[in-house]
Every structure is written in structure tokens, then in C-alpha cells.
Amino acid sequence: DFPVRTVLLIGETGCGKSFVGNRLLGREEFLSSASFDSCTKKCAKHCVKDGELQTEFQVIDTVGFSDTTKSDQEVRQLLGEFANLAPAGIHAVVVVLNLQAGGRSNALKVLDTIENFFGKYVWAHSVVLCNMSQRTAQEIMKDLDASSGSPAKWAKEWRAAGVPICAMPTVGRVDKSIAARVVDLKRAIVNRQGVYQSGEFRREHDRLKTLTTEAINEFTTCSWRDEMTKVNKRLLDGRLTQAGWEIERTRLGAKDAEDQRRNDTLKRVAAAGLVSTACGAGVGAAGALIAGEASVTMSAGAAAAGGIAEGWFGKVAGWFGRNSKKAGA
């Protein structure tokens, strides 16, 4: 019996996973199409013994990422079914990419999803196959290195993990050039060391769920908690990298803290206002009492002064009256 190498084919919908699987098997087992529509609806496995390489290849085809007929959650669930077909683990994860000009952007996004679903350590067990490409591995890596941002990042990560880069010409063609590329791919698969344990897929998802739960518990305001819930869903669905998630967590956390400080300030102001109102009522009552007593005193003084003035004017008037009578006489 030959040693067994279990191969997992993953990639976006319509990238040619099933076509590659059929080339590895040397026969048509997986339903494939030259269009970009999804053909694979669930995980399936077929085997072949290669006498030249003295290896039995167990090839597992999977549902594609970015399948418009399924939600991200359904894709994750269907993809996870590979664990039932490979309980002993995966020897090589073949990441099928379309790096042509029209599909490059989506292909690079799928790489983020793969890392989210399988964990960063998946690259230590991977082979990258650039489908629909006539270029060599050296040319592909040179092109990625020359690009800025995401392409250069992946080139660096693959190089660090020792990821073999293979290429295969246009989907649908079966000729000598395809046969030579298939042999190259098989050799790359055989040379991969170690096993990606099937349970890691489930554990990675559980780790992300724990991470998102801890994050949501840090939020105190309802509005920002709701926003963080949306960000968490994007991470769990594979539409956001963990690095991107960390950035959003920090940004929304700062907004949440700012609103919490504002709410605390308003509470303190409101509490101080109640005390001020109570003190104001007390001061008002005391003021009224003092003002009332002062008014009484002033009224009494005014009355006394008026009486004195009235008496003085009366005396003056009497004096003028008496003198007037004497003058008349």
C-alpha cells in the first residue's frame, strides 16, 4: 500500500477547484464548469493511486468562498464538513487562486477569509496554485513582491512559511502542458511536511467567538455595543481580518469611552443641580425671613421719624400764626 496524502482544495467560487481536482485524479469525478458559477454544493472526496510517485492521493473538493447563493455562515458550515472526510487531518491545503487582472482583487480578499477560517498556521501546510496562468512560480512571486499593500504582504507570508507556488494554464484545456503542471503540483503536495488537524478549523472558530464575546463585554453604551456586534459578525463570517477587527475594536472602544465619560459628566452635573436647588430653597427662605424683619424695623423707624417731623412742623406753624396776630394788632 502507498502512503496516503489527503489534499483539501479551497478557493473562491469559479476559480477552478473542481477542474484541478479532476486533473489530480486523472479522471472526471468532480462536477466542473468553464463559467464562474458555483458547481460544488458540498464537500466530496475521491481517491487515486499514483504509481510514479508511489502515493495515494485523497482529494477533497469544497464549496467556494463568495458563493452568491449562500450566506457566509452557510459557506463556513459547509466548508467545515471536510473534517468528516479527513478525520486524520490534511497533508496539503491547495489554495486555488485566479490572479488574472479581473479576478485578482477578489482572490486577495479570499486569502483573508482563508486565514480567518483556518488560522494563520494553515500556510505551513499549504500549496498555492495560480490557476489560468502561464507564468512560472518565480514570475508570480516577483509580481507580488513588486506590488504594494496586500500582494506584497502575502508574498512575504508565503515565503516565511515555505509555501510552494504552482501554476496551471487555462481551465478546460487538457494537454501536455497541463500534465507537466499537474506533476509539479503533486510533487509539491508530497513534499509538504506535517498535518493540518481537522479539529483546528472548529477550534479557530471557537477562539474567534471567545475573542468577540470578550470584546463586546467591554462596551457600556448600547449604540457602540451594536456597532461592535456588526464588526464581530464580519470577523466570524470571514469578511474581516483579525488585524482589521482589532483596528475597529480600538476605534469603537474610544467612541464608547468618550460617550461614557460624557454620560458620567451629565450625571454629576445633574446630581450637583439637585443639591444646588435644595441649598437655594434654604437660602431663599432665610433671606425672606431676614428681609421681613428688616422691613418691619425700617417701617417702624420711618413712622417714628414722620411723627417727629410732624411735631416740628406743627410748632413752626403755630409760631408763625401767633406772630401774624401780633402784627395785625
Q: Which residues lie below 8 Å from residue 12, measured CB to CB, with a gap of 6+?
A: 64, 65, 66, 98, 103, 106, 107, 110
Mean pLDDT of 162-181: 78
pLDDT above 90 for 164: yes
Q: How confident is the model at residue 152, as a pLDDT? A: 87
Please report which confidence band the pLDDT of residue 301 belongs to, taking 50, 70 and 90 as the band edges: very low
Ranges of H-type helices in the chain: 17-25, 72-79, 82-85, 104-118, 137-146, 150-161, 176-191, 199-216, 222-236, 242-328
Q: What is the pLDDT of residues 119-145, one digit of tens each?
A: 988 999 999 998 877 788 888 888 888
3 secondary structure, DSSP code: P
Burial readout 68-90 (b: 16 or more C-beta within 10 A, e: otherwise):
eebebeebbebbbebbebbeebb
Task: Sort strands 165-167 and 126-130 into parallel, antiparallel or unpaired.
Answer: parallel
Q: Take residue 96 and report the three cell numbers written for it.
A: 486555488
Nearest to 189 by CA among 55, 98, 309: 55
Quote the pTM value.
0.73
Q: Which amino acid is at 285?
A: A
Nearest to 43 by CA among 55, 32, 24, 30: 30
Q: Please give the Cα distance from 237 to 249 (Å, whole number).
A: 16
Q: What is the pLDDT of residues 20-76, one digit of tens each?
A: 999 999 999 988 755 445 556 688 999 999 999 999 999 999 988 876 677 878 888
Please report which confidence band the pLDDT of residue 10 belongs to, taking 50, 70 and 90 as the band edges: very high
Mean pLDDT of 193-205: 89
Nearest to 126 by CA among 140, 142, 115, 113: 115
Q: Whole-number mean pLDDT of the chain?
A: 81
